[in-house]
Amino acid sequence: MAQPQLSQTFNAPQTSTYQRGYDYDLVIVGGGIVGLTLASALKDSGLSVLLVEAKVESAAVAKGQAYAVHMLSALIYQGIGIWDKILPNIETYRRVRLSDGDYPGVVEWETGDINAQDLGYVGEHQALLHPLQEFVKDCSHVTYLCPAEVVNIQYQQDVVTIEMKFADQMQTVRTKLVVAADGSRSRIRQAAGIKTHGWKYWQSCIVAFVKPEKSHNNTAYEKFQSSGPFAILPLPGNRCRIVWTAPHEEAKALCALDDQQFLAELQARYGNQMGKLELLGDRFIFQVQLMQSDRYVLHRLALVGDAAHNCHPVGGQGLNLGIRDVAALAQVLQDAHAKGEDIGNIQILKHYERWRKRENLTILGFTDLLDRMFSNNILPIVVVRRLALWIMRRVPVVKIFSLKLMIGLKGRVPKLAQQ
């Protein structure tokens, strides 16, 4: 991936913001997908934004990361005005199949269940990141610095002073608000003393790209095994992304196999519905964790995305929660700014926290329950979960509710998604 170029030079904007003693209204630390989405969402807000990214090329791009993009996320990107740049490079899925081991009662959702053209999308990291990078370059109120490193932050009653290293020089900026979009190990969150709660699972995830012999038919699969969920996500070029969850030692052993041995094990989990598989590129492994920050906001600080929460990858919820975070925060900030209110005030920021923390906790709990319910062979639990699958297949209201919950159509919808 080419090195991102600056959208503007590093000069304080000639606005009333600067005259009041601020260089920017807000500074977003972290120029990944979530941080870029927030900057893009604020393009017409009248707020001056500085976006700071420490890495020239993210590790996620190097590892070929890919994500499910849920319906609500797509609507948010439509509201921003960037969806037409993203859609040509990602794949749609129009069917979702959920199965439990060898149990024949498969639950299948289709577009007709919610009268939609698609149920969701799957895109590689770069297919999302690059259009967002290009988009913010054309946003007159956004300054994009990459690579630049935040060295020190001082929070005061009326201002935040940030020292950063850019182009081998130290720079200082003053802002009303800092937004931490710097990932699960957020230095901004840690430096602010915000504690987190959660746990690391007994499982790790193996991720890889494969090319099946037959068409994937725009179908996403979630296959539960006693060792953990196994997801198959369709990608452009008739490729698929697999997310294979297994206990740590089993996952390490699988990754240690040569390609032919790994493919043999993979084919057994994958099934024969798409014929023989071809392994594309390397495979990677990462540990799974659940994390929720005690607070999403402090005075002049807000957390978004993985800086605020992490969940089990089952259902592909992680990135989508971050996109919903920034849509909610953008709405709160724009509404406050339009009323002449201080966007860094804790009372303003608490509107965002109350909106998103509860909804995120619901999804964190839902994904945790799914993983624990299906990743075992305990007979009473097996009976309960297969009864649940039977109900989903036979009771339309339950089936549709569960689908809408998975794709983000339950809960408060931000204004961006209503445009």
Q: Which domains does the chain have, with CATH numbers?
A: 16-91+121-197+291-376+409-418 (3.50.50.60)
Predicted confidence (pLDDT) at residue 171 exceeds the cutoff of 60? yes
Average confidence (pLDDT) over 178-189: 96
Write out pLDDT tens, residues 211-234.
999 999 999 999 999 999 999 999
- Residues 144 and 6: beta-carbon distance below 8 Å: yes
In order of 79, 140, 340, the CA distances from 275 in angstroms are 39, 50, 61
Write out pLDDT tens, residues 19-36.
456 899 999 999 999 999
Predicted confidence (pLDDT) at residue 63 exceeds the cutoff of 90? no
Residue with tokens 């039977």: 390
Predicted local distance difference test score (pLDDT) of residue 12 = 38
For residue 407 the two structure tokens come to 């794709």
- Residues 228 and 375: beta-carbon distance below 8 Å: yes
Q: How confident is the model at residue 363 (pLDDT cuts 50, 70, 90)?
A: very high
Give me the chain's average pLDDT, please.
90
Distance spanning both ends of the chain, measured CA to CA: 32
Q: pLDDT exceeding 70 applies to what percent of the chain? A: 93
User: CB-based burial of residue 401 (10 Å sphere; 0-12 exposed, 13-18 middle, 19+ buried)?
Assistant: middle
Predicted confidence (pLDDT) at residue 49 exceeds the cutoff of 90? yes
Predicted confidence (pLDDT) at residue 272 exceeds the cutoff of 80? yes
- Could you write out the DSSP letters of every residue in 94-130? -EEEEEETT-S--EEEEGGGTT-S-SEEEEEHHHHHH
